[in-house]
Amino acid sequence: MAQNAERSTGDAASAPKKVLCLSASARPDGNARQMAEALLEGVAQAGHEGELVHLADHVTRLFGNCRECRNAEGFCTLDDGYENILLNKYVKADAVVYVSPIYWYGISGHLKNFLDRFYCYMSGGYPHKDAFIQGMMGKKAALLLSAEENSFSKRTPIVQHMIQLCEYMEHEFVGIAVTTANSHKDVRSDPNKPLDSARELGRLLFDIHETDYRLDTDRGPIIWQGDDSAYKHPAYWR
């Protein structure tokens, strides 16, 4: 039987979950960052724990050649804050929210570099590879984007990239919120109220369950089956 993506990772009434927001803007107070702050307000409203990390303050080294960067024991020697964020925050989080402005029709370099450096800990040269991979799996994931253009097609490649990444890491991708913004605080003038959307996404982060059927998925003919339906909070797009 093909895997049914209606995976349950707990509900809002259970023990508080940990949510990590990775802000990948070059600006510490940019529009994308303000979206992240709104999302964490929603996380707190739901009784969960949230933390925001501004990547530019901590990850200053680029992904390198592991044949040169590893020490004799197999550990990465790039001396910035990446390892602390990855092992002590990312791995331990129940949900990860990727937050980025759109630069040249892609995610920012800060976020791409953070993702690239996963390899240093997933490859066979790292002595704790198996434990690391196990800790990386099974999270909720969401995406916050800020872009000057409101074209849906310009956002699609980024969304597809993140969905593919989440599928590879066995993360349940549950939501997206976007704003059309450029100047400082433009996000607050966006008539689509993206801060409200981000806040609501944060509040529902652990209640949303993605449904992604396959040809042989066992499912009933009725979608709306009451309050316990997996469709109660469908995948989110704003």
In a domain, 3, yes or no: no
For the chain, what percent of residues have pLDDT higher than 90?
42
Residue 14 maps to a domain: no
- CA 180 centroid distance within chain: 19
* Token representation of residue 97: 């929210």
In a domain, 19, yes or no: no
- Whichever domain contains 83, its CATH number is 3.40.50.360
Residue-wise pLDDT for 110-138, tens only, equals 999 999 999 888 888 888 989 989 999 99
- This prediction has a pTM of 0.86
Taking alpha carbons only, the member of 168, 114, 111 closest to residue 144 is 111
Q: How far is CA 158 from CA 69, 144, 150, 162, in A?
A: 30, 11, 14, 6
Per residue in 134-152, pLDDT (tens digit) is 999 999 999 999 888 888 8
> Two tokens at 70?
């590893």
- Tell me how far apart the alpha carbons of residues 181 and 185 are, in angstroms, rounded to a whole number: 8
208 or 73, greater pLDDT: 208
Residue 11 falls within a domain, yes or no? Answer: no
Is there a domain that residue 7 lies in? Answer: no
| Residue 62 CA, distance from chain mean position | 20
More confident residue, 19 or 175: 19
Reported as a single tens digit per residue, the pLDDT across 43-69 is 999 999 999 999 999 888 878 787 878
Q: What is the rounded average pLDDT for all residues in the chain?
A: 84
And the tokens for 22? Answer: 């990775």
Flag whether 123 is in a domain. Answer: yes
| pLDDT score of 134 | 93
Asked whether residue 121 is domain-assigned, the answer is: yes
> Looking at the predicted structure, is the pLDDT value of residue 87 above 50?
yes
Choose among 54, 48, 33: nearest CA to 198: 33
Q: Report how far apart, in Å, the C-alpha atoms of 159 and of each of 106, 145, 231 are.
A: 10, 10, 21
The answer on pLDDT for 224 being more than 80 is no
Range of the domain at 55: 25-217
116, 149 Cβ separation under 8 angstroms: no
Per the model's pLDDT, the better-predicted residue between 95 and 78 turns out to be 95
Segment 144-163 shows an average pLDDT of 87
Cα 236 from chain centroid (whole Å): 13
Q: Report the DSSP pairing between strands 172-180 and 49-54.
A: unpaired
Distance of alpha carbon 26 from alpha carbon 219, whole angstroms: 45
pLDDT, tens digit, 9 for 90 and up, residues 93-110: 999 999 999 899 999 999
* Count, residues in the chain: 238
Tokens representing 107 are: 């995610």
Q: For the chain, how many structural domains are there in total?
A: 1
Q: Is the pLDDT of residue 229 over 70?
A: no
Q: DSSP character for 137?
A: S
The arithmetic mean of pLDDT across residues 212-220, rounded, is: 85
For 56, other C-beta atoms within 10 Å of its C-beta total 16
pLDDT band at 2 (very low <50, low <70, confident <90, very high): very low
Please determine, for residue 236, whether its predicted confidence score (pLDDT) is greater than 90: no
- pLDDT band, residue 28 (cuts 50/70/90): confident
Q: What's the mean pLDDT in 174-194?
A: 82
What contacts 24+ positions apart, CB below 8 Å, involve 164-169?
A: 165/115, 166/141, 169/136, 169/137, 169/139
28 Cβ neighbours under 8 A, 6+ residues apart: 54, 56, 57
Across residues 23-31, what is the average pLDDT? Answer: 86
Residue 166 lies in a domain: yes
